[in-house]
Amino acid sequence: MSRLHLAIQKKGRLADQSRDLLKQAGIKVQDTKTGLTARATNFPLDLMLVRDDDIPTFVGDGVCELGIVGLNVLEEYRLGQDEDDVEIIARLGFGRCKLMIACPESEAFDMSALEGKRIATSYPRMTRRFLAESGISAETVTMQGAVELAPRLGIADYVCDLVSSGQTLEANGLKPVETVLESESVLVRTLKPIDGAMAELVDALKARTDGVIATSESKYIVLNAPENALEDITRILPGAEAPTVMPLLGRQGQVAVQAVCQESVFWETLEQLKGAGARDILVMPIEKMML
Ligand code: PRP
Ligand code: ZN
């Protein structure tokens, strides 16, 4: 029987969350002794544990049918290919960060300051595209890591690097000024031909991860309300289509409302619902969902 191959980051910003996603999708994973692969015990799936920068290559070559990778790494890879050999099949919502131009903290920056300067980055293709689109001619200096040290070392004037919390830049006396790419992790699939059985496995795995993504934000809401407040309440419920409305026994004009909310439910939402006349509001997590 065929088994799917999924490339994920071995260690780093996406490693734990990639494994969490599989776990939430009900897939149990057992690491092998080599530390290079892992095996799902209850789904026909093998994991390849690799460096994030290698994931697009593994998927593009068809060595792995699937991969979980940051959009930042994927875009940089794509810009170096003549023809796409990888396609995004889902945005996963975790590992959010931005690729940004940063300058010394004390500098009053505007775009024209980049003209004729040197910019250190691990993402030279995206940086060059950004500069070209902005009509700036500047030089990029490619570094594999420790990019944030470049200005202090005199290697470059500016950097173009990933910013998540912003701590790395701050610790190096730099501030982010322009966004080059907004990134998050994505599920990618090879564009190399795969056989029917394998394609079915891809679909089955994607249906599970889609379910996980849908439930992570979704909540089930139950409340009681006067019938005449229904219109207001339906409007307030975030991302809920066609709630179920049932009469309450022995309470004229009062109804029970049940709805799946596809967006986050905040305390403010509950306060608004109460303000519109809702009572006995319950918000419940949804464990599994298949759309
Ligand atoms: C990025 C980036 C910075 C850091 C920024 O590296 O190069 O060093 O994260 O994060 P912060 O804003 O929260 O301080 P990453 O961990 O992705 O490693 P890699 O680029 O070497 O794969
Ligand atoms: Zn990396």
Centre a 10 Å sphere on the Cβ of residue 107 and count the other Cβ atoms it contains: 14
pLDDT at 291: 72
Kindly tell me if the per-residue pLDDT of 22 is higher than 90. Answer: yes
Which CATH fold would you assign to the domain 218-285?
A: Alpha-Beta Plaits (3.30.70)
Q: Nearest residue CA, atom 8 of ligand 1? A: 168
Least confident range of 33-37, 51-55, 128-132, 140-144: 33-37
Residue 146 C-alpha to ligand 1 middle, in angstroms?
Answer: 9
Residues 6+ apart with CB under 8 A from 235: none
Q: Which of 152, 159, 151 minimizes the C-alpha distance to 178?
A: 159
pLDDT at 289: 82
* 74 membership: H or E segment, kind and range: helix 71-78
Residue 15 C-alpha to ligand 2 middle, in angstroms?
Answer: 11
Q: What share of the chain is helix, strand, coil (3-state, %, to 5)?
A: 30, 35, 35
Q: Nearest residue CA, atom 15 of ligand 1? A: 13
Q: What are phi and psi of 272, to 5 degrees?
A: -65, -40
Burial class from Cβ neighbours inside 10 Å (0-12, 13-18, 19+) for residue 117 reads: middle
Where are the domains positioned within the chain?
4-94+185-215, 97-183, 218-285
Kindly tell me if the per-residue pLDDT of 13 is higher than 90. Answer: no
Mutation pick for ligand 1 pocket among 75, 164, 182, 184 (CB with most ligand atoms within 8 Å): 164
The C-alpha atoms of residue 260 and residue 3 are separated, in whole angstroms, by: 35
- pTM, two decimals, is 0.86
Question: 97-183 and 218-285 share one CATH topology?
Answer: no
Within 6 Å (CB) of ligand 1, which residues are found?
12-13, 52, 145, 161-168
The C-alpha atoms of residue 127 and residue 118 are separated, in whole angstroms, by: 11
CA angle 40-41-42, nearest 5°? 100
CATH assignment, 97-183: 3.40.190.10
Q: Nearest residue CA, atom 16 of ligand 1? A: 13
pLDDT band at 17 (very low <50, low <70, confident <90, very high): very high
The C-alpha atoms of residue 27 and residue 282 are separated, in whole angstroms, by: 30
Which CATH fold would you assign to the domain 4-94+185-215?
A: D-Maltodextrin-Binding Protein; domain 2 (3.40.190)
Beta strands in 207-276 (DSSP E): 219-226, 244-247, 254-261
Dump pLDDT digits (tens) for 103-128.
999 999 999 999 999 999 999 999 99
